[in-house]
Structure 1
Amino acid sequence: MAVRDRLKGLTARDEQVLRRVGAHLGVLASRDLAVRCRAGLEHSAQAWADRKRELTPESSSRWAGAITKASHDQWALARRCQAAHILSLEAGITAIAHRLAQPIGAKGSKKVPGGYRSRQEWHAKKRRLHVLSDRLERERTDYEAGRVRVVRGGTRLARARHHLAAAQLSEEQWRERWQAERWFLQADGEAGKRYGNETIRLTPDGQVSIKLPAPLAHLANAAHGRYVLSARVRFAHRGQEWADRIDADRAVAYRIHLDIQPGVARSRRDSGRWYLTASWQHQTTAIIPLRAALASGVIGVDTNADHLAAWRLDVHGNPIGNPRHFGYDLTGTAGHRDAQVRHALTRLLHWARKCGLRAIAVEDLDFAAEKTREKHGRNKRFRRLISGKPTGKLKARLTSMAQAAGISVIAVDPAYTSRWGAQHWQHPLTNPKRPTSRHDAAAVAIARRAQQHPIRRRTTPPPHDQSDRMGHRTVQAEPCAAGREETRHRTPDHAHDAPGPDTARTRATSAPNTVRGAPVQLMFTG
C-alpha cells in the first residue's frame, strides 16, 4: 500500500537541504550499487556488513542500511529481468527453428505454427535465428557469472540524452531530471521505533523531519542532527490507515522525490514539485473456505484489451440483472495506464460490495509465451491484442485492492470460457432490450466454473419430442449428477414406460475429457 502527498510550502532553504542530502546520498548509493554488481554471485552476509560499515561514517547507520538494501534489491530485480529475457529468447528461438523446419507455405494448426510464406522470409528468419542465438549465449554467460547491467536514473532517461528533440527536452532540462532521478531520499520503516521510522519521521500532525548524514549535520535546525521541513503532510487517501500504523509504531517506509515535468517552462522559484510517499505492507489474511466465499454468489470478470466485462451470478449459477462494463484506456504513460486499471477495479469492487458479494472470479491468464512475434509472425493485430490485456498488472492490483475491501479473488482455468460462453449463454441471455456480447457470456462461464458448475448447457431436444409438447427441458443438473454434460436420453411417451432407478444402463458413461473438472484456485481471500 502506498499513498502520496505533495510537500507544499517548502522554503528555499528546505529545497536546498533536500537537494544537498539527496545528492550526497545518491553518490553513496551509486558507489554501493557498483560494488554490489561487481560482487555478483560471490556476495555474502559478511560482504553486506562490510559495505554497510564503509558507508556509515559518511552517512549514518540507518542511511547505510537503507542504501545497501536498495542496492541489493535493485541487483535482484535486474537478475529476475535477465532470467525473463533468457526465457523470451529461448521461446523465440524454438518458434523460429520449428517454422524453418517446415516446408515453405505449409499451413499450421491452432497450437503449432506452420512454415514461412516465402523464400525471402525464410532467409530473413534464418539470419534472425543466428542473431538471437548469439544474444542468448551472451545473456546465459552473464547470468551464470552473476553479471547484470543497471542504470541508476533509468535506461529510458539515459537514452533520451541522445534524442532530446524527440523527448521535448533541452540539455539543461534533461540534466536536471537526470540528477533528480539519481538522488537517494528513501528509508525503510522500523517496527517499534517512534512513528515507525527514525530516518524520515512523519508525525501525526504532518510534520516531516529528516536525519541528516554526518557530513551535513551542520545544516540541522532541530536536536539530534535532524532537519524539520516547513511543509505539512496530510494524506487524503487512506490517511486513517497510516495514522493507525504510526500510532502503534509499526513500520512505514518513506520516499521524498522531486517531480520535474518534461517540456514545461518554469521560473527560478518553481523548480518542480516535491512529493512524499508513504508505503507499508498488509498482513497476510487467513484463507477462508471456497464454499464460504461463494455463499452469496459470485461476479465473473472477463478481461479484455479495453474493458472488463462482469456479470453477477447467484448461488445456483444463474445470471442476475444486466452485465456491467468497466472500461479503461491503456495508452499513454505508465502512470496513466496504471491509474486506468485502478479506476476500473475500484468501480468493480464498489459494485461487488454494493451487491453484498464476497467473491470475484477471474481467469488465470498469462500471455508471456504468446507475446513473442516469432510465434504469430505477421499477425500484428493479434499480438497487439494480447499485449494490450493487462493480465499481470490487473491480477496484482486486484488482489491488493480486494484485500483491503474484504473480497475474495478466485482464479479459474481460462480454457474454452469464451467459446463455451458464446455457444451456450450468449443467445439465451440476449433479448431486444439487452444485447449480450461474447465477453458478457464469457463472464458467465468464468463465474460458473468458479462455482464448480458445468459451463455447457444441455442441448434442447426437438419440440415434438418433449414430453410436455413444446415445453422447456434444458434445466441444469446437480453438480453431483453423473453424466450431466452428456446428451439427454429420450423420455418415453408414457410415464409407466420410464425405466426405474435400478435399471441397468445399456451404454457406459465415458469420463469427461474437458477442463470443466479442473479445480479452481483461490488467489486471495479476505
Structure 2
Amino acid sequence: MGGVRELAASFVVPGPSGVAVRDRLKHLTPQDEKVLRSVGEHQGALASHDLKARCADGLDHSADTWASRKRELTRQSSSRIAGAITKATHDQWALARRCQVAHIQNLAAGIKTLRHRLSLPVGERGTKRAAGGYRSKSEWFCKSRRLAALEARHTAAVADRQAGRVRVVRGGKRLLNTRHHLAEARLTEDEWRERWEAERWFLAADGESGKRFGNETIRVTPDGEVSIRLPAPLAHLANARHGRYVLSARIGFAHRGAEWADRITANRAVAYRIHLDVERGRWYLTASWQRPVVQTIPLETARARGMIGVDTNADHFAAYRLDRHGNPVGDPHRFGYDLSGTAGHRDAQIRHALTRLINWAVRVGVAAIGIEDLDFTAEKTREKHGRRKRFRQLISGMPTGKLKARLVSMAAEHGLSVVAVDPAYTSLWGAQHWQKSLTTPHRRMSRHDAAGIAIGRRALGHPVRRRTAPPPHDRSDRAGHRTAQAGPGDRGREGTRPPTTDRPPKGPSPSGKRKREPSASKTVRDAPRTHR
C-alpha cells in the first residue's frame, strides 16, 4: 500500500447561508411592461458603463474611485440604485478574477502533462499513475504544437492577471456566441436580440434593514403589492407618490411565504430581482435574504444514528444505509436522473432525485448523508485523458459543485447534515471488499452500490475493509480485536459460534488411531443354526 495517497479527513459541510424564492408577476398591463422595460434598459446601460469603468481601473481600484463612480450613477438614478449597481459590478469583477485563476491552473496542468509525455520515447507504455509516450511521430508532432499554443495562452493569461485585466460580457459569453450560430440555435436575429437585451437589463435592489418592508427601491407589501422607485430620468412614468410606480400584479410566495412575511413585517432586509423569461414571455420576481450563520453539528453527533453513503454517478445516485458500526442495512437504493436536454430540465431532474433521497433518509431515521467531496477541475483536460472523449464529456457533465450546494440546502430543511469525505479509492475498495460478499440470488450489487458503502464507512470513521488483519500471536484476542467496527465495550463482538446441534462434538476413536478404512466389527456373530 506504499503508493496509496494520504486521505483527507471527513468533515460536516456548513449549512446554507441564504434563501431565495421566486414567484410569477401575473396579469401585468401593457403599461406595466413598458415601465419595467424602460427601467431595466436605463439601469442596464448604467451597469454596463460602470462595469467598463471598473475593468479599466484594474488593480488601481480604491475607495476614492468607487465613490466617484457612485456619484456619477446617483445623478442618473438614485443613491440606492447606484449602490446596487456598484456592488453588482464588484461581484462581477471578483468572479472574473477567480475564473482567471482557474483558467491559469487548468493551462498549467495541461502543459505539465504534455511536457511529461513528450519527454518519453514514442510508443512507451504508461502506467495507472502516469501516461506513457505518444503512439506515433505524427501525434508527437501535433502535441508539440499544442504545447506551444498552451504555453502562449498561459503566458498571456498570467500577464493579464498581473496587470489586473479581466474580460467580462454582460449578458453572457455563450449567448453572445449564439449570435454567430442562429441556425443551429433555431433563432431569428430579432429573437436573439430580444434575449440579449433582456439579459443585459438591471432590475434589482439590495435590501436594507430598518427601512419599510426591508427595501426602499423595490417594495413588496405583506398583501403582495409591488412598487418600484423610478430613477430620476423616468420619474414622469410614476403613478404613485414619491416617484414610485405600483404594478397591477399581486405577488404571493407559495414556498417560504411565512418566513418572507415575517421578515418584511419586521422591516428586515430582503433583496429583490425582476427578470423576463423571453422564451415563455413571463415576468418573475425573486426575493432573497441572508440567514444567520448556523453552527454545524459535531461530526460525532452526525454519526450517532448511522449514515447513508451516496455514490454520485452520471445518471443516478447509488445509496446504501449503514448503522453506526458501519454495517450495511437492507438493500441498495438507486435514484436516477437524466442530465440531457436543457439546463432547466437537468436542474429539475437533480432536484427530484435529491428529494427522493432525502425523503428516504428521513424515513429510516439517520442524521446525516455521506457524499464524496468531488472536484473535477483538474480532471477534464484533453491532455490528461487523451482520446477518452466520452469519459471527458461524462465528468464534465456532472454538476458536482451545484449538486453539493443543492443537497446541503435541501437537507438542512429536513434537519439532516451532510458529511463530505475524500473520494480516493471508494469505487476500487468498495468493489474489492463489499460487492461480492453482499451479492445474493435476491440482491444484485453493482460497483456503485459497493462504493456507497465505502463512502458511508469513511464518513462514519471506519476503514473501508470489513475486518482488520489477524492478531500476530494466534487466533485469540490478546493482541487486539479483529472486528474493525465493534467498540471495546460491545458484547458478543467476537464470541465463539454456538454448535449447530445439541449433540457434543465427536471424540477420538476408541483405538486412538485414524484409519481411512472402516475398522473390523468386534461383534461376535452366533454360529448358524443347523436344521435337523
- Shared fold per TM-score greater than 0.5: yes
Q: Aligned partners of 1:439, 1:273: CA distance in 2, in Å?
A: 42
Q: Aligned partners of 2:79, 2:261: CA distance in 1, in Å?
A: 27
Change (3 A) 1:420 1:221: same
User: What SS does the corresponding residue of 1:341 show, helix, strand or coil?
Assistant: helix
Q: Which residue of 1 aligns with 2:457?
A: 448
Residue 195 (1) aligns with residue 203 (2): no
Q: Which residue of 2 aligns with 1:279?
A: 288
Q: Which residue of 1 aligns with 2:90?
A: 72
Query: 1:278-313: CA deviations, max 9, x gaps?
Result: 122222211222111111111111111111111111
Q: Which residue of 1 aligns with 2:310?
A: 301
Residues 454 and 479, structure 1, Cα contact 8 Å, conserved in 2 = no
Matches within 5 A, 1:14-413: 14-261=32-279, 272-413=281-422
Residue identity opposite 1:121 in structure 2: E
Change (3 A) 1:479 1:99: farther
Question: How many equivalent pairs are there?
Answer: 465
Residues 457 and 474, structure 1, Cα contact 8 Å, conserved in 2 = no
User: What SS does the corresponding residue of 1:102 show, helix, strand or coil?
Assistant: coil
TM-score normalized with structure 1 length: 0.85
Residue identity opposite 2:169 in structure 1: V
Residues 462 and 485, structure 2, Cα contact 8 Å, conserved in 1 = no
Matches within 5 A, 1:488-503: none
Residue 466 of structure 1: how far off its partner (Å): 9.6
Residue 475 of structure 1: how far off its partner (Å): 5.1
Residues 210 and 269, structure 2, Cα contact 8 Å, conserved in 1 = yes
Residues 187 and 253, structure 1, Cα contact 8 Å, conserved in 2 = yes
Residues 462 and 484, structure 2, Cα contact 8 Å, conserved in 1 = no
More displaced, 424-433 or 144-153?
424-433
Change (3 A) 1:455 1:201: same
Query: 1:23-47: CA deviations, max 9, x gaps?
Result: 1111111111110110011101121
- Name the Cα RMSD after superposition: 2.1
Query: 1:251-270: CA deviations, max 9, x gaps?
Result: 21111111111xx8xxxxxx
Residues 177 and 260, structure 1, Cα contact 8 Å, conserved in 2 = yes
Residue 101 of structure 1: how far off its partner (Å): 0.3
Residues 306 and 329, structure 1, Cα contact 8 Å, conserved in 2 = yes
Residue identity opposite 1:314 in structure 2: D
Residue 447 of structure 1: how far off its partner (Å): 0.9
Residue 122 of structure 1: how far off its partner (Å): 0.4
Residue 200 of structure 1: how far off its partner (Å): 0.6
User: What SS does the corresponding residue of 1:20 show, helix, strand or coil?
Assistant: helix
Residues 93 and 129, structure 1, Cα contact 8 Å, conserved in 2 = yes
Residue 388 of structure 1: how far off its partner (Å): 2.9
Q: Aligned partners of 2:363, 2:258: CA distance in 1, in Å?
A: 22
Residues 325 and 486, structure 2, Cα contact 8 Å, conserved in 1 = no
Residue identity opposite 2:395 in structure 1: I
Q: Aligned partners of 2:487, 2:376: CA distance in 1, in Å?
A: 31
User: What SS does the corresponding residue of 1:301 show, helix, strand or coil?
Assistant: strand
Residue identity opposite 2:101 in structure 1: A
Query: 1:340-393: CA deviations, max 9, x gaps?
Result: 222222221121122222111111122211110101111223223322332222
Residue 480 of structure 1: how far off its partner (Å): 6.7
User: What SS does the corresponding residue of 1:395 show, helix, strand or coil?
Assistant: helix
Higher relative contact order (CA 8 A, sep 6+): 2
Structure 2: 5+ residue stretches without partners: 1-18, 490-504, 506-532
Larger-gyration structure (1/2): 2
Q: Aligned partners of 2:363, 2:292: CA distance in 1, in Å?
A: 25
Change (3 A) 1:405 1:361: same
User: What SS does the corresponding residue of 2:374 show, helix, strand or coil?
Assistant: coil
User: What SS does the corresponding residue of 2:321 show, helix, strand or coil?
Assistant: strand
Residue identity opposite 2:400 in structure 1: T
Residue identity opposite 2:250 in structure 1: R
Residue 454 of structure 1: how far off its partner (Å): 2.2
Q: Aligned partners of 1:308, 1:28: CA distance in 2, in Å?
A: 45
TM-score normalized with structure 2 length: 0.84
